[in-house]
Chains A and B, each alone.
Chain A
Amino acid sequence: MLTVLVDYDSGNLHSAQKAFERMAREVGGGEVLVSSRPEDVARADRVVLPGDGAFPACRRQLDAFTGLYEAIEEAVQAKGRPFLGICVGMQMMASKGHEYETVDGFGWIPGDVVKIEPDDRSLKVPHMGWNDLVIERAHPVLEGIHTGDHAYFVHSYQFRVADTGHRLAHCLYGGDITAIVGRDNMVGTQFHPEKSQAAGLRLIANFLRWDP
């Protein structure tokens, strides 16, 4: 069993790698590999796509690695491998991102990534820190994670899904903010599970055991 954390030079994968390795040991989840090689993604049993920074920069950075996006799409869409997107890695599952400029996402989950505009002007953007999850629907990756559990967020844009059936959880920040999306063999978290202590580690363990 091989889980590949896709490294396309977008931020720090160290804590994600350590969190996945630790939970893989605990649940017998096999090997964890950080790689930017399309051939590693092609042989992966699970694919994790992190992402820090701006949507257009992440998209361009990913496309700068020849064949990498195609390998991810082949693994996730054609072969149905379980996929987890984290932060901007989750946002790129959308149809389009509108951060500084409009850029195409993967189009896996219909919707748009738009600026957070809290209805309370005293709320700061970025939405940074611990917020409590409101679980909207049951999912194997959310087993043992409950409404009220906290996760660590840091983002200024959010994923507005077109079909609320694709939203698994949200949090409240001057309006609701999409926290977890899911469809078929794909899930994505706006928050950082690798920095979210117990709830985050549980989600990672669930993902490593998930058989969609």
Chain B
Amino acid sequence: MLKTRIIPCLDVADGRVVKGVNFVDLVDAGDPVESARAYDAAGADELCFLDIHATHENRGTMYDLATRTAEQCFMPLTIGGGVRTVEDVRNLLLAGADKVSFNSAAVADPDVVARAADKFGSQCIVCAIDAKTVSPGKWEIFTHGGRKSTGIDAVEFARTVTAKGAGEILLTSMDRDGTRAGFNIPLTRAIADAVDVPVIASGGVGNLDHLVEGVVEGHASAVLAASIFHFGDYTIREAKDHMARAGIPMRLT
């Protein structure tokens, strides 16, 4: 049986983890590769790096990071942040990423998803969707860290990018991100039920029950979280045990 995935996400700027990981005694908590190794050993199912200050000039640090991580972690690695072109995807895959995530570039031009999926296959193309509630049961895409409204309906957009070949949706609720109040369940379920590809729920996790809700009520195939793991509130193992006790199939070995 396919297992529900837990994906720790590391925000990276200029090759360094923005918020240090302190759940184990790392020599350098700011080193993304060292954090990745620790999560690998802890039983994370995948890893995600988001380049939060992505600029053309600092692309090289992300390639180097992908390469060094892939040398040491034999698990799937997704990289996102500032990915704009098919060439960006190509460079990240060659550097060692297993999947690459589009965000605002796909909003500006959904066909970039099609071009990348045609070239490299849907299996490695993720589309990140940042959505905000505009009225009950209605969500819109926001860009620029949730500051800029686009007027685009989130559920429609999810259908569009999956039709164009996105193999997975990384859905972040901008209403919940950083609040620790739990996932936006109606949003998660609306998107997960609208598309055939797996949806990763993100934004708002504050405790382990939230992870269970994202899967059982939100119909997500995977859950992404950052601070509850980085700050040592819970281990990956505790999260998996908790979800397994709730009846969700988890990889416990």
Contact = CB atoms under 8 A, between A and B. Distances in A.
A52 B124 contact: yes
Interface string A52-84: 111001000000000000000000000000000
A126 B1 CA distance: 14
A126 B198 contact: yes
Interface in A119-147: 122-132
Given A12-B97, A12-B98, A124 B74 contact: no
A2 interface: no
B94 interface: yes
B178 interface: no
B45 A53 contact: no
B207 interface: no
B216 to A, nearest CB: 13
B3 A11 contact: no
Contacts of B251: 130, 132, 150
Interface string B44-61: 010000000000000000
| B40, B70, B94, B122 pick with most chain A CB within 10 angstroms | B70
A106 interface: no
**Interface SS of chain A: helix, strand, loop or mixed?**
mixed
B94 A12 contact: yes
A197 B40 contact: yes
A12 B2 contact: no
A156 B122 contact: yes
A18 interface: yes
Contacts, number: 101
| A52, A53, A129 pick with most chain B CB within 10 angstroms | A129
A172 B120 contact: no
B74 A130 contact: no
A64 to B, nearest CB: 14
| A19, A148, A154, A173 pick with most chain B CB within 10 angstroms | A154
Nearest to B45: A130
| B4, B45, B74, B120 pick with most chain A CB within 10 angstroms | B74
A129 B253 contact: no
B124 A11 contact: yes
A114 interface: no
Nearest to B167: A126
B155 to A, nearest CB: 16
A154 B123 contact: yes
A209 interface: no
A54 B45 contact: no
Contact of B98 (A15, A54, A132, A201): A15
10 contacts: A15-B70, A52-B123, A122-B219, A124-B198, A126-B198, A127-B2, A132-B251, A195-B75, A195-B76, A196-B74
